[in-house]
Structure 1
């Protein structure tokens, strides 16, 4: 049975994929390179079926290739790039990287050590639902920002005094003001006493006094529209304010559902235990990483999938280290957004970020370095099903002792 069984390895990239199929004796029976396209992925699936392959080895457990293979009914096994580097020594001492050779190494490792690798499983329905909610919220925030910018452009032309009146343009008190006073003509009715009454009626709790707010309106540049144009401006402002109000309400509703889903998820406590994670950040990290531990067999695989580890290309004496562009961009954005806020609550994170800046790294680069450092901790917590425990964080404890 094993002598007739076939195994496949795929070394994939965002440009092309090297495929190698070996038989039960370890002989190469097929080697091809296909483009990263719909037709290329269909060709790979057809080729695997023709040779009776049911299990495929690959270096990354996420991305379109893995999703296509799972949808096509194949079993996918992740063998990390670090493991592949070690396995190359079986077949020669040169250690050079070649895509077709790496595909052969993956296939042959699957043949000889099938029991060592875990299968990649689809994410649980809870995780898929959480991911849908998170991505819907992200799209809704993008829409809200676009409408906010449109309203800002209209006000800068028609009603400059309303710009900067409150801390943000789309907060409830600002939207309530614009709904009541959508133009300069209507806002001219306000006096300090009338403004005080309106603020009290609408529950204003800011630091600005009624006199300061009225002075802001009076000292602003006069708008450039009058008559029918001013009336049209009022209609536009009112429509945009109503749209922003609806978008904010729907965002609040989505965030409530996200919190509910996060609390019900088995991995929720792991991500909520991270410093400065909160609810939306924790849910986003969980949704984008998923719950299949085999997808990321080590922390390096997670860092590569998140795009926070540099892309290294080495062949012989040639070495090139570059920014990693092929990655899960939603996961990278979530991981970097969270990591760059952790120095406010974690001494180790603050030290790591400061040392990166002292080496001359700009903020985006330093944030990615910090995010890469956090992936090792996050992966260990996630892999062991254990919440983050600062008492077990050795570097953090060492810095705390030094500070004391």
Structure 2
């Protein structure tokens, strides 16, 4: 297949005028330069609805129809294209390096950064691409999956805090069940929140309580009781009661987090089912619902953004960064990437090897060459992105029967098995 067409800026800016906006939380500095790089307009607007309207009005009045900015999302970016302005994103890292063009001091100043953005848009047009926003469905899905991931991070942190608290207050509860945030574990802590309450338990009483809460029976009550008896004793008396209050406080927050994560997962499932590209990502091995939604949300649905697979792999941070000077050449980790996308593709790739022989072989071969797990996972993720990119460009579901490398591997294994 042919690679997707790329969108580019015209050779010269409309009216010979370009603008740069240095955004902030309270106000935004705008600078407009002409074809010679001379500042024609410079102003500041507040981060309010009226301020954003004033921003677009003054840009249009100055004849600037192309605007450079440091980020590709947020209210400012949403306001600019709505009035017919072309937005070009120049990352903060690029702006930091570009400051040296105009002076050796390298000072950070909002007015100066707005000028750097505007002038870079004037001089480096061949290297820049206009922002092509995703569809509203993708934008909404991205917000939901990122919100869920943030809550999961809070849940993990709170579980670690609760575990550290229990090692002193009630050590027997640590490791009693598989996960501290599982329903059975939280139900146990809600009922037996301190050593004094746990001392009341006998095997018959514990068996009856487990039955009342619908425990699956993965662990025998006798083994659970033995764990409680053999663990170091926790705080008792008034000290135990005081520490139990802290246990209940953390448990209440943890319960709320778990419930809200489930609510967001239900929303993710609904949003993914309605998305036009859902079949591309849900067809991947062991992608599930949340993984498929994360991949779709982070890659997006604008095909022109990634004209070839390598551009997607570089943004995802799974392609190495090569540095060469004279006879010295080094290949290292790529830092300037979309970390959300890298986390999503690496999470998928790490688990895909359990269901896909091709993925398992790529990972095992990397480990055999001396790579550690994160490096081997990135190698596999890069290979998967080439497959995903072709499926994504064709809006086609992943079909193992059409995966040439997988089929070649399976054919090699058949004679060996015979």
Which TM-score band (shorter chain)?
0.7 to 0.9
Report SS of the residue matched to 2:239: helix
Report SS of the residue matched to 2:335: coil
In 1, Cα distance between the equivalents of 2:304 and 2:89?
8
Q: Structure 1 residues 191 and 43 mapped into 2: Cα distance closer, same or farther (>3 Å)?
A: closer
Deviation larger for 188-197 or 209-218: 209-218
Contact 2:167-2:174 at 8 Å conserved across structures: yes
The one of 306, 313, 323 equivalent to 1:303 is: 313
- Post-superposition offset of 1:46: 2.7
Alpha-carbon displacement from aligned partner over 1:236-265 (angstroms, at most 9, x marks no partner): 111222221111111111101100000000
Residue 187 (1) aligns with residue 202 (2): no
In 1, Cα distance between the equivalents of 2:392 and 2:308?
11
Residue 339 (1) aligns with residue 349 (2): yes
Match of 1:144 in 2: 155
Match of 1:397 in 2: 407
In 2, Cα distance between the equivalents of 1:316 and 1:54?
42
Report the number of matched residues.
342
Match of 1:74 in 2: 86
Residue 274 (1) aligns with residue 284 (2): yes
Q: Unaligned regions of 5+ residues in structure 1, if any?
A: 1-7, 10-20, 79-101, 111-116
Contact 1:120-1:294 at 8 Å conserved across structures: no
**Where in structure 2 are the equivalents of 1:13-24 lying within 5 Å?**
23=12
- Post-superposition offset of 1:319: 3.6
Residue 355 (1) aligns with residue 365 (2): yes
In 2, Cα distance between the equivalents of 1:109 and 1:140?
38
Match of 1:153 in 2: 164
Q: Structure 1 residues 354 and 328 mapped into 2: Cα distance closer, same or farther (>3 Å)?
A: same
In 2, Cα distance between the equivalents of 1:178 and 1:251?
20
**Where in structure 2 are the equivalents of 1:253-292 lying within 5 Å?**
253-292=263-302
The one of 247, 251, 257 equivalent to 1:247 is: 257
Contact 1:22-1:30 at 8 Å conserved across structures: no
Q: Structure 1 residues 235 and 156 mapped into 2: Cα distance closer, same or farther (>3 Å)?
A: same
Match of 2:32 in 1: 46
Report SS of the residue matched to 1:341: helix
**Where in structure 2 are the equivalents of 1:48-197 lying within 5 Å?**
64=70, 72=80, 73-74=85-86, 107=125, 120-197=131-208
- Post-superposition offset of 1:50: 8.2
- Post-superposition offset of 1:150: 1.5
Alpha-carbon displacement from aligned partner over 1:77-120 (angstroms, at most 9, x marks no partner): 99xxxxxxxxxxxxxxxxxxxxxxx999974599xxxxxx9x65
CA RMSD across the alignment:
3.4
In 1, Cα distance between the equivalents of 2:144 and 2:159?
22
Contact 2:193-2:247 at 8 Å conserved across structures: yes
Q: Unaligned regions of 5+ residues in structure 2, if any?
A: 1-7, 38-62, 91-119
Contact 1:307-1:325 at 8 Å conserved across structures: yes
Q: Structure 1 residues 171 and 348 mapped into 2: Cα distance closer, same or farther (>3 Å)?
A: same
Contact 1:69-1:76 at 8 Å conserved across structures: no
Contact 1:147-1:244 at 8 Å conserved across structures: yes
- Post-superposition offset of 1:23: 4.7
Match of 2:48 in 1: none
Alpha-carbon displacement from aligned partner over 1:195-248 (angstroms, at most 9, x marks no partner): 11001101111322111111111111112x333221111111112222211111
Contact 2:17-2:65 at 8 Å conserved across structures: no
Residue 387 (1) aligns with residue 360 (2): no
Contact 2:194-2:236 at 8 Å conserved across structures: no
Alpha-carbon displacement from aligned partner over 1:282-340 (angstroms, at most 9, x marks no partner): 00011111111111111011001111111223466554322111111011001001001
| TM-score (normalizing by structure 1) | 0.76
Alpha-carbon displacement from aligned partner over 1:30-64 (angstroms, at most 9, x marks no partner): 99xx9x9759xx899734798877579x9xxxx94
Residue 231 (1) aligns with residue 235 (2): no
Contact 1:120-1:292 at 8 Å conserved across structures: no
In 2, Cα distance between the equivalents of 1:103 and 1:357?
44
Report SS of the residue matched to 1:368: helix
- Post-superposition offset of 1:276: 1.0
